[in-house]
Structure 1
Amino acid sequence: MSKKVVRVMKIQFKAGQAKPGPALAGAGIQMPKFCTAFNDQTKDRMGETVPVVLTVYEDKSFDFILKTAPASEMIKKACNLKKAASDSKQTVATLSADKLKEIAEYKMPDLNAIDIEGAMKIIAGTARNMGVKVEGLDA
Structure 2
Amino acid sequence: MAKKVVKFLNLQILAGKANPAPPIGPVLSQNKLNIMEFCKAFNDRTKEMPSDAVIPVVISVYADKTFTFVTKKPPVSYWIKKAAGLKSGGKLPGREKAGKITMQQVAEIAREKMEDMNAYNESAAVSMVMGTVRSMGIEIEG
User: Normalising by the residue count of structure 1, what TM-score does the alignment of the two structures yield?
Assistant: 0.92
Which residue, 49, 54, 57 being the options, matches 1:49?
Answer: 54
Instruction: Give CA deviations for 1:55-88 in whole Å, capped at 9, x if unaligned.
Output: 1111111011111101111111111111111221
Deviation at 1:46, TM superposition (A): 2.8
User: For residues 8-23 of structure 1, what are the structure 2 equivalents within 5 Å?
Assistant: 8-23=8-23
Deviates more, 1:1-10 or 1:22-31: 22-31
Output the amino acid matched with 1:93.
Answer: G
Partner of 1:2: 2
1:29 aligns with 2:30: no
Segments of 5+ residues of structure 2 without an aligned counterpart are: none
Deviation at 1:91, TM superposition (A): 1.0
* Aligned equivalents of 2:2, 2:112: Cα separation in 1: 33
User: For residues 62-77 of structure 1, what are the structure 2 equivalents within 5 Å?
Assistant: 62-77=67-82
Tell me: CA distance 1:6–1:21, structure 2 relative to 1, closer, same or farther (3 Å).
farther
Instruction: Give CA deviations for 1:35-68 in whole Å, capped at 9, x if unaligned.
Output: 1111111111032111001111111110111111
Q: Aligned with 2:13: secondary structure? A: strand
Q: Aligned with 1:127: secondary structure? A: helix
Q: Aligned with 1:98: secondary structure? A: helix
Which residue, 74, 77, 88 being the options, matches 1:83?
Answer: 88
Segments of 5+ residues of structure 1 without an aligned counterpart are: none
The root-mean-square deviation of aligned C-alpha atoms, in Å, is 1.1
Which residue, 113, 133, 138 being the options, matches 1:107?
Answer: 113
Identical counterparts, % of pairs: 39
Partner of 2:123: 117
**What is the total number of aligned residue pairs between the two structures?**
136
Instruction: Give CA deviations for 1:3-61 in whole Å, capped at 9, x if unaligned.
Output: 22221011011111111123232332101000111111111103211100111111111
